[in-house]
Amino acid sequence: MKFFVDTAEINEIAELNDLGMVDGVTTNPSLIMKSGRDILEVTKEISELVDGPVSAEVVALEADAMIAEGRKLAAIADNIAVKVPLTWAGLKACNVLSNDGFMVNVTLCFSANQALLAAKAGATFISPFIGRLDDINLDGLELIADIRTIYDNYGYDTQILAASIRTVNHAFECARIGSDVMTAPPKVIKAMASHPLTDKGLADFMADWEKTGQKIL
């Protein structure tokens, strides 16, 4: 499973990228706002830092304007994936931009029917939002599984990009189900390395090592 980092903070991306943990980056208007940076400037910087796809989201609501914004964003770098919302206008924009040869990430997906339409429209990525479904007492992971089944049934190339991941259990379940990609905040990716038995085992080893009075360096 590919790891995309869901942030527009350059330092956080760089830290994980140095460890080989970054296969791509996703941004959205909210993350750009939090960064306090100009969207074109920060998107260019991120696209130069990582080799994989960098999702940059349009903010227009009409298809023609989405297409124009998407083309401008895609011109920033070859690894830009234009992010469009899963609306009828967004699907129209997806179809045009995909036919132009650009990567397209269709976001704000909350149903398998929506995901099927995105694949038909030529989406490179579909972004189902797990956490936001969980917030309203629906099973976000069940949606990932349903999309996986549908795409496998018909051989769609669209990659499932599990989004709105909030916990390490979300990450594990997405990998188990077979999501192609997950995008998560840096803190969730880092938390995947944590386990209380690892901490306890390390403490025991260090206590025993101290008793030997030895040094390696």
Residues involved in catalysis: 83
| DSSP code string of the chain | -EEEEE---HHHHHHHHHTT--SEEE--HHHHHHHTS-HHHHHHHHHHH-SS-EEEE---SSHHHHHHHHHHHHTT-TTEEEEEESSHHHHHHHHHHHHTT-EEEEEEE-SHHHHHHHHHTT-SEEEEBHHHHHHTT--HHHHHHHHHHHHHHHT--PEEEEBS--SHHHHHHHHHHT-SEEEE-HHHHHHTT--HHHHHHHHHHHHHHHHHT----
Output Rg (C-alpha) for the chain, integer angstroms: 20
